[in-house]
Amino acid sequence: MSLSLAGLWLAGLSFAGLWLAAVAAEADRRPRRILNRRRGAVVGEHSRNLARMEPGRLEVGRTATVWSAVTTADTAIALGSGDLPVLATPRLLAWLEAAACTTIGGLLDRSDSSVGTRVEVEHLAASAVGSTVTTTAELAYVDGRLLRFTVSAQDEHDRLLATGTITRVIVDRERFLGRLTPPS
């Protein structure tokens, strides 16, 4: 029996789909545990070697919440991302990133940091100056140096303002900065 390229491609997709379904089913069976909901709390001792990190230090399920008040400096007008006096999407993204960083705050060695590599956020509702925005990040996936967070933002009326995912990668600070090309 001979298979066409299309047949092989479909067979590969079927296998990939079954594999993804198995991975998702396994993820649903893993217990989730929230270790730290306080902003900036330090858990455990620092470890230089990521491969030898204590098991569970960067556990799926860790969360952090950051509260921010919307000021005129946070508006689309002030940041140049629009012409309305409402919370600017770039500022909201920064607050969501801050929540993600707070989730792992204190768990990395001082010589390590994390850098953002991908952001997928849907900004669902506007927020006026004076509003309080609560941004929350949950560590949803860990694969070595790769960290993926689910993020959300709500206002003081529990209205959902944004939802999405943020991907960050753990890097060695010195090596990362050493790769930068100086401006000419």
Cα-Cα-Cα-Cα dihedral sign, residues 106, 96, 137, 65: positive
Catalytic residue among 46, 59, 65, 89: 89
Catalytic residue among 63, 97, 103, 135: 97
Please say if the pLDDT value at position 172 is more than 80.
yes
- Which DSSP string do the residues of 24-86 spell out, in sequence order? HHHHHHS-------STT---S---S-GGGPPTTTT-TT-EEEEEEE--GGGBHHHHTS-SSSB
Residue 89 designated active-site:
yes
Banded model confidence at residue 184, pLDDT cuts 50, 70, 90? confident
Please say if the pLDDT value at position 39 is more than 70.
no
Cβ partners under 8 Å of residue 149, min gap 6: 99, 100, 103, 137, 138, 139, 140, 165, 166, 167, 168
Catalytic residue among 123, 134, 163, 165: 123
Q: What is the pTM for the complete model shown?
A: 0.70
pLDDT number for residue 12: 47
pLDDT number for residue 44: 30
Q: What is the DSSP letter of 180?
A: P
pLDDT number for residue 56: 46
Please say if the pLDDT value at position 52 is more than 50.
no
